[in-house]
Structure 1
Amino acid sequence: MDGFIELLIHGLLLVGYGVLTVVLTAVSTFVEYNSYLSLSTGESLLGGWMALIGLLVFVFAYFVLRDKVVAEYRYLVG
Structure 2
Amino acid sequence: MDTSRNRSPGTESPQFIGRAVATLAGDPNLMQKTEKTLIVAELAREYGFRDLDGMLPPVLSVSAVRKRFKA
Q: What is the TM-score when the length of structure 1 is the normalising length?
A: 0.29
Structure 1 or 2: larger helix share? 1
